[in-house]
């Protein structure tokens, strides 16, 4: 996991235009970082930096990799659901038009995008600053090919916060549904869309106390995503367990 830097570096791609420089400066100021011209950037092994590319998107880069925003398989999942009514997340959450959903582990936001198509608002938390910044700065500005994704992205509020701290600050019944998708204890490294996040993600396990706090602030239900052999299933007697034996991924539902 990348530890918070006192001064995050913001720069541009090579041979930037004026708008790239302006945006890099603006974001460095916004996030208390420092702007460096790309041709003056001298990186050591293990260093990380934010980059404004030619499309004015914010990426997070290091020596041999890059973290960038993309909607992953949200489009395919919605199309499949509208055709056959099958998506384990949607079936577990059962989002309604007026629901406000709290997504405790936003990641790149693909689940939040899908859920926000159906509900009024998704509040998404992301504890890792690099992931948070990349999503917060790009999710509403991405060049979506589907209009529904563009509209859904506007209903997502992105917050840089550790859910274990955030839960303590919320009042009882603050959200209709609380959803938590922590990093799997037993991951499948074949997941190419998740692999770039692994370096920066938080790996805290859900505790019984966390679950009780989630239940307290949810009006309708709590939904937890985990692999079949993760330890969360031993913490609570879930009302439903929806998922796929083939993938080994399940959504545990606690009804209020």
210 within a domain of the structure (yes/no): yes
Residues 6 or more apart whose CB falls under 8 angstroms from that of 3 comprise none
Confidence band for 64, pLDDT divided at 50, 70 and 90: confident
- Residue 99, pLDDT > 80, answer yes
Please identify, among 18, 49, 67, the residue that sits at the C-terminal boundary of a domain: 67
Instruction: Tell me how crowded residue 235 is: count the other CB atoms within 10 A of its CB.
Output: 17
Within-domain flag for 47: yes
> Same structural domain for residues 243 and 169?
yes
Distance CA 208, CA 167 (A): 13
To 10 degrees, the CA torsion angle through 254, 74, 131, 61? Answer: 150
CATH code for the domain in which residue 222 is found: 3.40.50.150
* Whether residue 62 is found in the same domain as residue 81: no
4 domain-assigned: no
* H or E, element range at 52: strand 48-52
Render pLDDT for 222-238 as a digit per residue (tens, 0 to 9): 999 999 999 999 999 99
- One domain, residues 26 and 145: no
- Cβ contact 10:33 at 8 Å: yes
Residue 209 has pLDDT above 90, yes or no: yes
Are 150 and 86 part of one and the same domain? yes
Is the distance from CB of 199 to CB of 155 less than 8 angstroms? Answer: no
Enter the pTM of the model. 0.91
Assess if residue 1 is contained within a domain. no
Is the same domain home to 13 and 138? Answer: no
Residues 2 and 221: their CA atoms lie apart, in Å, by: 33
225 and 121 co-located in one domain: yes
Residue 61 belongs to domain spanning: 9-67
Please tell me whether residues 83 and 184 are part of one structural domain: yes
Task: Show the tokens assigned to 213.
Answer: 């706090």
Number of separate domains in the chain: 2
| Res 4 pLDDT > 50 | no
Q: What DSSP state is assigned to residue 44? A: P
Residue 3 lies in a domain: no
Among candidates 232, 228, 229, which has minimal Cα distance to 204? 232
Give percent of the chain above pLDDT 90.
77
| One domain, residues 105 and 123 | yes
Distance CA 225, CA 249 (A): 7
The answer on 110 and 17 residing in a single domain is: no
Average pLDDT estimate for 206-215: 96
Quick check: is 136 in a domain? yes
**Does residue 191 surpass a pLDDT of 60?**
no
Average pLDDT, the chain: 90
Domain boundary residue among 67, 92, 117? 67
**Same structural domain for residues 63 and 80?**
no
In a domain, residue 2? The reply is: no
Same structural domain for residues 154 and 30?
A: no
Report the distance separating Cα 140 and Cα 127, nearest Å: 20
Query: Which two three-digit tokens encode residue 129?
Result: 């600053």
155-190 burial, b at 16+ Cβ within 10 Å, e below that, comes to: bbebbbbebbebbeebeeebbbbbbbbbbbeeeeee
Give the integer Cα–Cα distance in Å for 53 and 34. 17
Q: Are residues 61 and 82 in the same domain?
A: no
Which residue, chain included where needed, has tokens 């990093």? 183
Q: Per mean pLDDT, which range of 51-55, 73-77, 188-192 is the poorest?
A: 188-192
Q: Which of 49, 67, 85 represents a domain boundary (last residue)?
A: 67
Q: What is the H or E stretch that residue 152 is in?
A: helix 147-153
């Amino acid at each position: 996991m990348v530890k918070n830097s006192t001064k995050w570096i913001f720069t541009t791609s090579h041979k930037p235009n004026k708008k790239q420089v302006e945006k890099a400066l603006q974001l460095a100021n916004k996030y208390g970082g420092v702007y460096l011209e790309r041709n003056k950037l001298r990186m050591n092994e293990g260093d990380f930096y934010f980059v404004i590319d030619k499309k004015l998107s914010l990426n997070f880069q290091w020596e041999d990799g890059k973290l960038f925003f993309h909607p992953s398989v949200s489009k395919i999942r919605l199309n499949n659901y509208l055709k056959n009514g099958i998506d384990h997340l949607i079936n577990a959450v059962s989002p309604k038009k007026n629901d406000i959903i709290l997504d405790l582990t936003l990641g790149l936001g693909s689940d939040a995008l899908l859920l926000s198509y159906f509900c009024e608002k998704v509040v998404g938390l992301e504890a890792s600053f690099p992931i948070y910044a990349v999503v917060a700065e790009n999710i509403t500005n991405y060049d979506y090919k589907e209009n529904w994704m563009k509209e859904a992205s506007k209903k997502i509020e992105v917050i840089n916060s550790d859910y274990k701290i955030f839960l303590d600050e919320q009042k009882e019944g603050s959200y209709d549904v609380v959803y938590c998708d922590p990093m799997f204890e037993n991951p499948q490294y074949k997941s190419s869309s998740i692999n770039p996040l692994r370096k920066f993600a938080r790996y805290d396990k859900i505790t019984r106390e966390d679950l009780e706090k989630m239940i307290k602030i949810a009006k309708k239900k709590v939904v937890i995503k985990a692999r079949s052999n993760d330890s969360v299933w031993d913490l609570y007697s879930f009302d439903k367990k929806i998922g796929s034996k083939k993938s080994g991924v399940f959504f545990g539902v606690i009804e209020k």
